[in-house]
Structure 1
Amino acid sequence: MCSRYVGFILLVWFPGALHAQSAARHCPAPALVGGYFVPVKETYSHDFQLTYACENTYKPAVEGWWATSVCQDGTWSHTPQCIDEKGCFPPTIANGKYTHASDGWYEEESVIRITCDKGYEHKNNLATAKCANGTWSSLPTCEQSIKTCSMPPKVPHAVIVHQGYLELFPEDSKVHYECKDGYRMEGSDKNPIVCLAGTWTEYPTCSKVTVRGDHTSTERGTQPGSGGGGGSRPDSGHVSVEVGTGRGHSTSSGPGTQPGSGGYPSTSDTRPIMIPIKDCGTWPLVPNGVVVVQDRMFLKFTCNAFYTQVGPEDVVCYNDGSWSQIPICKDAFCVMVPGYYTYGLRLSENQFIKEGELTYIPCEWNDYSVAVRCTDRRITHTSCCRSYDHQWKRCSIVRENFLPVGSLIKK
């Protein structure tokens, strides 16, 4: 008698638990054509794992010669299915997308077209893939576009507003800077900056605003001897600063200035003296290059993709307020401009090829393409050849193009 009351009380207290157990629906046995599964039942409980395999000339719709599927509230985690062994599974394309098959797999001879995400382009200009005997031929990849910019340059004392963090910015992207409190933007006409052909346009700077009595001034950088930082001396009364010019002599301002009495040490050596980079103000701009290391005493540059670096990697600040020699980023690519090139190939937009790279450009017929090579900024290409046995030596070289590469890029 007592146990009945206890059971009644439990039912009253825990109706939700009983409802949750009964709510989980069972799964019906799958209709598996061309295969078999174990164990064979009419229905399967929630969380039951079913194992299945396929007969000859078939394979499971997932990787492996056998597969498992789990019953999840009346539905199988993937529908057990046996497909033609020559069919293909959906490929994984990083930074790209395509139209997925409604039944989860692709029959032999199926062709898919890959669309790259913004900021990416097809490597070797290959955009399609074909299912052949269970595998994809020439599966396209999406790589960073030459017209895409990396992160915008860091401006001291500023932040980027109205834009979340991104690693890549498509061409024509715009970003806005805003100076922190106590700083004023110099070169506001350069805000926002724009991504053009893989390079950011010139950016603004933020200068500190100081108040002296009823007068407000803006410190434009921190040049040695300017009173704004690294090169100033805490003299009282009239300020007199002596600076080594790096040319074998020194300059002074104000009466009574003694050689070597303050500021940066003077020297008779013709070599300039290195000082912290903050004392040279705005960083130098290297077209098609970015700063990859910011040290107290130097900046390290590297060139964007499709460019090669000439000159020093490190740039330092001298005690006369000047920067050392900056590197140059030279073109290291070729451009095929729109037009007719060979029978079956007519381009409608610029095609960029890295120096030393062998690229394939699709022709107007399926499975045909042209092999293109960029050497010393000179393009050599072949006639249209079949893609699946495409080799440089098998296709006749039909044309060499000498193009003014630099003039074809929008700066």
Structure 2
Amino acid sequence: MRYLGFALLVCFPGALHAQSAAQPCRAPTLAGGYFVPRQEMFSHKTKLTYACDTGRQPVVEGWWVTSTCDNGIWSHLPQCIDENACIPPTIPNGKYTESSDGWYENGDIIRITCDKGYEHKDNDATGICTNGNWSSLPICERSMDACSEPPKVPHAVIIDLGYQKLFAGDSKVRYECKDGYTIEGGHTKKSIYCLSGNWSEGPVCSKGRVPGTDHGGSAAGGTSGGHTSSAGRGPSTNSGTAEGGIQFAPINRCRKHPVVPNGVITEITVMFLKYECNNFYQRVGPGTVNCHSNGMWSAVPSCRATFCTVDIQQYPHLSPGGVKFVKHGETEKFECLKQSHWITDHFSMGSCTDGRISFDECCSWVSRKIGMC
């Protein structure tokens, strides 16, 4: 029997690995709470349920929650945190720097970064943990400059990247024709661009076209059928089509670059200019500007002020100072006048919304921690 067992282990080593991989979990140390069943060790895939004492809450949503032993590690480490703390929020199409503790203290601020192709609704980019709940959590909505999936082209595929439904403004994708098919000029590949929410014109893959010939099949430089080859010419002006049938053209077709007050050009390509606004300003309108074949520029964005000006001299409860600027949707700490010699961290939080600043009451960190503010 001993030899038989050895032979089975040799023949089926996966069974031994599976047994050794399924490690048990030690009972968690749960300060301020309790769990069932109460035991020292939990086998692989065993669940425990826990709840927290008055004034505390689980580190995940719910007043009672479960955690599963998964090969020696709990699916989430059971914890009981202060009831005024906040658990990590879910932001569709956005991300933020997660706390190493797995939760956030009352008064903590997180800044959301939207995924490519999305932008902050109402310019709101921050969330504040307030008494156990997130206030004014940002929403990431589809950007006006973003494009849906590129158009399907017969006899061609998109190369270099996987399928996705949404593309950020200024994105580029490249088509390649299947074997035996080419684009005008004998090429097999062509790139198109996402310009102000629309894709530039895609390729047409035709069968059996001879490199260097035109639509009529004549050689480069020929005149058969009244057509001539485009070989040797400058960049084609029919690189894309805007709404209303207006053709996109290379930017050198238009005159000097448009000037956007409080904005700068951050990228110049053959087909578009990209604008961004200076600090404390928010772009309104398209992020890219295209040149049309008629020599006119497409719509130009503007830069709207998104900040509050705080003249501290006008707020008698604040410590003397100059003028400060707070971005829209953000909160800044302002030192308050000392009420007594032993209070050294008396401050008020100023929040900027649509150009208006609002302050909460002056408190110390200790008072805020215990919910006295």
- Output the CA distance in 1 between the equivalents of 2:176 and 2:45: 55
> 2:97 maps to what in 1?
99
Contact residue 126 and residue 361 of structure 1 kept, 8 A: no
- Output the CA distance in 1 between the equivalents of 2:359 and 2:205: 54
Alpha carbons of structure 1 residues 28 and 339: separation in structure 2 relative to 1, 3 Å: same
Contact residue 124 and residue 361 of structure 1 kept, 8 A: no
Alpha carbons of structure 1 residues 109 and 209: separation in structure 2 relative to 1, 3 Å: same
> 2:75 maps to what in 1?
77
> 1:368 maps to what in 2?
352
1:101 is paired with a residue whose SS is coil
Deviation, structure 1 residue 160: 3.2
**How many positions carry a matched residue from both structures?**
249
Deviation, structure 1 residue 385: 4.7
Deviation, structure 1 residue 195: 2.2
- Output the CA distance in 2 between the equivalents of 1:20 and 1:202: 55
TM-score by length of 1: 0.51
- Output the CA distance in 2 between the equivalents of 1:158 and 1:23: 47
**Cα deviation code 1:258-307 (max 9, x no counterpart):** xxxxxxxxxxxxxxxxxxxxxxxxxxx86248xxxxxxxxxxxxxxxxxx
- Output the CA distance in 1 between the equivalents of 2:186 and 2:209: 19
> 2:147 maps to what in 1?
149
> 1:49 maps to what in 2?
47
Where do 5+ consecutive residues of structure 1 fail to align?
1-5, 221-284, 290-325, 328-336, 354-358, 371-382, 389-411
Please list, as runs of the form range in 1=range in 2, the aligned pairs for 1:260-271 lying within 5 A after superposition.
Answer: none
1:64 is paired with a residue whose SS is coil
> 2:356 maps to what in 1?
384
> 1:287 maps to what in 2?
242
Deviation, structure 1 residue 209: 4.7
> 2:198 maps to what in 1?
199
2:90 is paired with a residue whose SS is coil
Correspondence for 1:350 among 275, 283, 288 = 283
- Output the CA distance in 1 between the equivalents of 2:59 and 2:146: 38
TM-score by length of 2: 0.56
- Output the CA distance in 2 between the equivalents of 1:218 and 1:98: 52
Contact residue 171 and residue 195 of structure 1 kept, 8 A: yes
Deviation, structure 1 residue 361: 5.0
Deviation, structure 1 residue 62: 1.4
- Output the CA distance in 2 between the equivalents of 1:147 and 1:338: 20
Percent of counterpart pairs with the same letter? 54
- Output the CA distance in 1 between the equivalents of 2:281 and 2:42: 58
Contact residue 56 and residue 80 of structure 2 kept, 8 A: yes
2:5 is paired with a residue whose SS is helix
Alpha carbons of structure 1 residues 184 and 66: separation in structure 2 relative to 1, 3 Å: closer
Q: Could you say which structure has the larger radius of gyration?
A: 1
Please list, as runs of the form range in 1=range in 2, the aligned pairs for 1:319-358 lying within 5 A after superposition.
Answer: 338-339=261-262, 347-352=280-285
Deviation, structure 1 residue 130: 0.6
Contact residue 200 and residue 241 of structure 2 kept, 8 A: no
Contact residue 58 and residue 84 of structure 1 kept, 8 A: yes
Alpha carbons of structure 1 residues 163 and 78: separation in structure 2 relative to 1, 3 Å: closer
- Output the CA distance in 2 between the equivalents of 1:74 and 1:346: 49
- Output the CA distance in 1 between the equivalents of 2:66 and 2:146: 43
Contact residue 280 and residue 307 of structure 2 kept, 8 A: no
Please list, as runs of the form range in 1=range in 2, the aligned pairs for 1:2-401 lying within 5 A after superposition.
Answer: 6=1, 8-15=2-9, 17=15, 20-21=18-19, 24-180=22-178, 183-186=181-184, 191-207=190-206, 209=208, 218-219=215-216, 287-288=242-243, 338-339=261-262, 347-352=280-285, 363=308, 364=326, 366=331, 367-370=351-354, 383-386=355-358
Give, as a single letter, the amino acid of the residue that structure 2 aligns with 1:91. Answer: P
2:165 is paired with a residue whose SS is coil
Deviation, structure 1 residue 182: 5.2
- Output the CA distance in 2 between the equivalents of 1:147 and 1:187: 31
Contact residue 131 and residue 137 of structure 1 kept, 8 A: yes
Alpha carbons of structure 1 residues 158 and 21: separation in structure 2 relative to 1, 3 Å: closer
- Output the CA distance in 2 between the equivalents of 1:176 and 1:126: 34
Contact residue 169 and residue 195 of structure 2 kept, 8 A: yes
Deviation, structure 1 residue 66: 1.2
1:164 is paired with a residue whose SS is coil
Deviation, structure 1 residue 147: 1.9
- Output the CA distance in 1 between the equivalents of 2:149 and 2:359: 36
Contact residue 281 and residue 307 of structure 2 kept, 8 A: no
Deviation, structure 1 residue 218: 3.6
- Output the CA distance in 2 between the equivalents of 1:208 and 1:22: 60
Alpha carbons of structure 1 residues 73 and 150: separation in structure 2 relative to 1, 3 Å: closer
Contact residue 185 and residue 214 of structure 2 kept, 8 A: no
Deviation, structure 1 residue 112: 0.5
Which stretch shifts more, 71-80 or 119-128?
71-80
2:57 is paired with a residue whose SS is strand
Contact residue 50 and residue 70 of structure 1 kept, 8 A: yes
Alpha carbons of structure 1 residues 121 and 41: separation in structure 2 relative to 1, 3 Å: same
**Cα deviation code 1:340-397 (max 9, x no counterpart):** 9xxxx974452249xxxxx995641522121xxxxxxxxxxxx425499xxxxxxxxx
Where do 5+ consecutive residues of structure 2 fail to align?
218-239, 247-259, 264-277, 287-303, 309-325, 332-350, 361-373
